[in-house]
Structure 1
Amino acid sequence: MQDDTRAFLTRLFDAAVTAADPVRALQGQLPDRPRGRTVVIGAGKGAAQLAAAFEEAWDGPLSGVVVTRYGYAVPCRQLQVIEAAHPVPDAAGQAATRQVLEAVQGLGPDDLVVALITGGGSALLAAPPAGLTLEDEIALNRALLASGAPIGAMNALRKQVSAVKGGRLAAAAHPARVVTLVVSDVPGDDPAEVASGPTVPGPADRATARAVLRDWRISLPEAVQRHLDQAPEDAPRPGDPAFARDEVRVIASAARSLEAAAALAEAEGIPARILSDAMEGEARDVARVHAAIAREIAGRDRPFAKPVLLLSGGETTVTLRGQGGRGGRNSEFLLAFAAEIEGQAGIAALAADTDGIDGSEDNAGAFADGATVAGMRAAGVDPAEALSRNDAWSAFDAVGGLFVPGPTGTNVNDFRAILIR
């Protein structure tokens, strides 16, 4: 791929991330100061940056605690920032969640709780309910991550097997007023789905969770299954009077970030088309659809004429098929995409996670064009075999195709940019 094409795709990614910058996202979104205390809580891969921006913007005293992923912390003056594991919970996350719960105890109706919620908070807020252990929650997360189920299905289960998710954290703060500021990383921007909605109740109940188990053939640890069958009550529902004074605001989302990238492309003379900001499905299957559209444009100038930039967002999934593979859903998407456009001139793409980390490695995603898979073979890597083992990271590493911007401080999920000249 030519350097100027990589630079163009990188500028698009940067524009998308900037549109979700915490300082910008908070403008005009601060709640009124309360008569009582202001307590800030939060969780997610962008929660620390959002907390620091909130501190700068807030005119008054604050206290509270936010949880973010290892390596994502930034200094705050009044708020405590704790790092924990993602995407699988750990003991640090469990201890941090206890501190989050303690921060909202003993509040009154004149107090305000500001919840800063971004993607990744599900794993970071580790709080197994009575009768379950951290190991049970870890086993549940591993089973969900390997299942290939969409985020909404995974969250339906998580909400029923937690002491904080599904609105329970907001319920713990009652009778204080809770204002939730959400950086959305989920298709459709439903705030009840971001980080499994710790302060936003949703309609999913245990029957919903059982349907997920059936539809996605997920096998739970015995203790988790028993809890799902015998728990005395569902997660809180949206009509619960405890939430009557609460407020929820989505302050950044994939839609706004894709629009910012499209505007930059148009300013540089490349027409842009946003396919969707809410794409879901198996990463390799979504890749094949994107590749078919790109080939149709390259060969027949339909449904759009060349040159054109295709943009999409959402959250794909990866069903784990191999052992020891490295990578994430964006790298896997792009490896499958690269195989479908092999030998095709004039197509180049970037797929990356807007938080800067794709899966468990240090890359956000990767670059690819029509020569990528041939380059992999020349480097001794079989692209098809790598895809079968979910080892996209190694395949792109072999050809210098990894995209490594580092943690961005925000998270509005997948970003895909496909340039057809």
Structure 2
Amino acid sequence: MNFEKSLKLIMKSALDAAKPKGKFRNLPQKPKGKLIVLGAGKASASMAQEFENIYDGLLEGLVVTRYGHYTKTKFIKIVEASHPEPDKNGLLASKKIFDLATQSSKDDHVVFLISGGASSLLTLPAKGVSFEEKQRINKELLRCGAPIDKMNIVRRSLSQIKGGRLAQAIFPAKLTTYMISDIPGDDPTYIGSGPTIQANGLNEDSIKILEKYKISVNDKLRDIIKKNTLPKLNKSPKYMLATPMMTLKKAAEVAKKQDFIPVIISDSLEGESKIEGKKMAELAIKIKKEKKYQDINLQKPILLLSGGETTVTVKGNGKGGRNTEFMLSMAIHLKNTNGINCLAIDTDGIDGVEDNAGAYISEETLKKAYMKKINPLSYLNANNSYEFFKKIDDLIFTSPTLTNVNDFRAVLVQP
């Protein structure tokens, strides 16, 4: 059996399960006024296209998505902007979205489409915060290794649109939110920093996070954060179209057809990528050695499936995202162990800021590296996992998938 081909087939089924096609339920009734579609995120364009296809009525609107994620629509305008670092296109689109929200009337119904990536794409600094300052803090958050929920607490504290503030602008128009989750645990308040969701917590939480990760803010910014309180919102319907667990369950179905024994470890794995890669390698070796996983005997190949979002604390000047770093660390700690095949990808098709989705490893990975006289550890220490896998031709490319449910990992342990 070609295990690499099997794993990539399972991967594709997971990606298909993460897309919005056929997922919309509980559609809003036609309002007296206008049906306005707003949105942000890597999946927002494909969500807008699907909503147009199934909604039987007039509509208009605007969504912002990442460069390269454009999808053709009839009535909803699609704007592309930068991710993960916000740019002026994102700023202008966010201002327009906020204006459309503010201009809506009590007879209108606003549909908000949100998915992962919206925290960077929907960027509208709070009054008194410069766009350049917001860019700086966002960049430092990306490099410091903070988990996504902590990053989004900081982002919303500096925002005029996140943390329920867009919903506040939409009122008294009706509001319905549709989500694709990229957040471990699927908490709606953290998906895109929750522009239409009631958020909880204190503004001081943001200051504590900034201090923990040694991100400097002056007294003026501290004062703005403290005064930028979270609004109290009226309840509005919200629906989840796709989640990491949905994709893992679909992957498990397809794995069974491949005669594998699927085990979903977690849909919310977090931590430093290189450390979590080491742990996964140790688990795979343990299963191989003991010929079982918990009470499951290794009579057939066991497939360990996981989602979530690991992080990379950037110390080197190399290229690579969290999935290639996870895979490189795992390959190093597997030490050419036979019969273990793995892949890890970002489900949006872009691992970090490179052009790949992730990488594949097997017992051949280190052998290929040594043949090319490549030192895997030096590449790991330099955060240069992309170049490592590029040199041995084991990067995975999917192109932008137009969705995002975080990372997908599949580790196959053969008998």
TM-score by length of 2: 0.96
**CA–CA distance in structure 2, aligned partners of residues 204 and 376 of structure 1:** 48
The more displaced of 273-282 and 295-304 is: 295-304
In the alignment, what sits opposite 1:6? 4
1:81-100 → structure 2 map (5 Å cutoff): 81-100=78-97
* Structure 2 unaligned regions, length at least 5: none
Deviation at 1:232, TM superposition (A): 6.1
Alignment check: 8 A CA contact 2:356 2:395 kept: yes
The more displaced of 287-296 and 104-113 is: 104-113
Deviations 1:254-308 (A, max 9, x none): 0000000001001221110000001111111111111111001111113243210
Helix, strand or coil: the match of 1:340?
Answer: helix
The more displaced of 167-176 and 395-404 is: 167-176
In the alignment, what sits opposite 2:214? 218
- Determine which of 223, 226, 242 is the counterpart of 1:252: 242
Deviation at 1:221, TM superposition (A): 4.3
In the alignment, what sits opposite 1:393? 386
Deviation at 1:12, TM superposition (A): 1.1
**CA–CA distance in structure 1, aligned partners of residues 227 and 32 of structure 2:** 34
Deviations 1:159-192 (A, max 9, x none): 1001111111111111111111000000000111
Deviations 1:386-409 (A, max 9, x none): 111111000000111000011111
**CA–CA distance in structure 2, aligned partners of residues 90 and 198 of structure 1:** 19
Alignment check: 8 A CA contact 1:104 1:172 kept: yes
In the alignment, what sits opposite 1:19? 17
**CA–CA distance in structure 1, aligned partners of residues 87 and 103 of structure 2:** 27
**CA–CA distance in structure 2, aligned partners of residues 368 and 24 of structure 1:** 33
**CA–CA distance in structure 2, aligned partners of residues 209 and 388 of structure 1:** 30
**CA–CA distance in structure 2, aligned partners of residues 29 and 173 of structure 1:** 20
Helix, strand or coil: the match of 1:191?
Answer: coil
In the alignment, what sits opposite 1:266? 256
Q: Which runs of 4+ in 1 moved over 6 A?
A: none
TM-score by length of 1: 0.94
- Determine which of 337, 345, 353 is the counterpart of 2:338: 345
Pair 1:380 & 2:377 matched: no
| Letter matched to residue 311 of structure 1 | L
**CA–CA distance in structure 2, aligned partners of residues 226 and 305 of structure 1:** 60
- Determine which of 257, 270, 295 is the counterpart of 1:280: 270
Deviations 1:48-77 (A, max 9, x none): 011000000111111110000001001111
Deviation at 1:202, TM superposition (A): 1.3
Deviation at 1:126, TM superposition (A): 1.5
Deviation at 1:231, TM superposition (A): 4.3
Alignment check: 8 A CA contact 2:204 2:226 kept: no
In the alignment, what sits opposite 2:53? 56
Are residues 146 and 170 of structure 1, via their aligned partners in 2, closer, same or farther at CA, if it must alter by over 3 Å? same
| Letter matched to residue 229 of structure 1 | D
| Letter matched to residue 167 of structure 2 | A
Deviation at 1:109, TM superposition (A): 2.1
* Structure 1 unaligned regions, length at least 5: none
Helix, strand or coil: the match of 2:103?
Answer: coil
Deviation at 1:336, TM superposition (A): 0.5
In the alignment, what sits opposite 2:308? 314
| Letter matched to residue 346 of structure 2 | D
1:32-181 → structure 2 map (5 Å cutoff): 32-181=29-178
